[in-house]
Structure 1
Amino acid sequence: MALVKNMQFKILTAAASAAVGLIGRHLLTKSWRDVTGEEPPDPADPDVPVVKAVTWFFATTLVISLVQLLVQRGAAKKSMAKTGDLVDEPDYAAKPFTG
């Protein structure tokens, strides 16, 4: 039963992350255009100034990480409300290095 709950949690989290990630990326792109008046830079383009590429990189990384955190917490809350307990620790959770 724990395996089923863990799988449901992973499926719910993956689907929600994908959907919210697309929305977050769209909003981030729109925000960049509104603030700078330009299209977001391609960080791999050597003609893009380093500061602009790094700024875009950090902005997208921050938004994606924040979305993943919120989706995982929301999915855990939904799972707990439905099943009465939290799922097993996800495989992608940070674990200490044991050597």
Structure 2
Amino acid sequence: MADKGDIGWKVMAGAAAFAGGFVARKVITAAWKKTTGKEPPTNPESPDVDLMEALGWAVVMGVGMEISRVLATRAVASQWVKGTGELPSHLRPKS
């Protein structure tokens, strides 16, 4: 069973990733609208959506969401170290 530190870390990292993803989706959507002049595809899998537009949206969204997740998790890890004095066990370098 996970100890309280592991559970606390998972809750904090999950909440940060969720919040980061929410903000990232809004920012990416706004940037897509500004760049292309139209709404992003709501259903990129649909044959009615141009293939290049669907692929472009998938790449931009995938990369953007992963970047936001990494940044959010790293920010939480930094705060975790400030509060506990050490990284969560799975982020520590293997010796």
TM-score tier, shorter chain, comes to 0.7 to 0.9
Aligned residue for 1:89, secondary structure, equals helix
Cα deviation, residue 18, structure 1: 1.0
The runs of at least 4 consecutive aligned structure 1 residues that moved more than 6 Å come to none
Write the distance in 1 (CA, Å) between the matches of 2:36 and 2:30: 10
User: Aligned residues: percent identity?
Assistant: 29
Alignment gaps of 5+ in structure 1: 91-99
Write the distance in 1 (CA, Å) between the matches of 2:6 and 2:78: 13
Cα deviation, residue 24, structure 1: 0.8
Write the distance in 1 (CA, Å) between the matches of 2:81 and 2:20: 21
Write the distance in 1 (CA, Å) between the matches of 2:3 and 2:60: 36
1:1-49 deviations in whole A, cap 9, x for unaligned?
x821121111011111111211110111111111111110121111111
- 1:74 corresponds to: 75
Q: Does 1:52 align with 2:53?
A: yes
How many residue pairs were aligned?
A: 89
- TM-align CA RMSD: 1.4
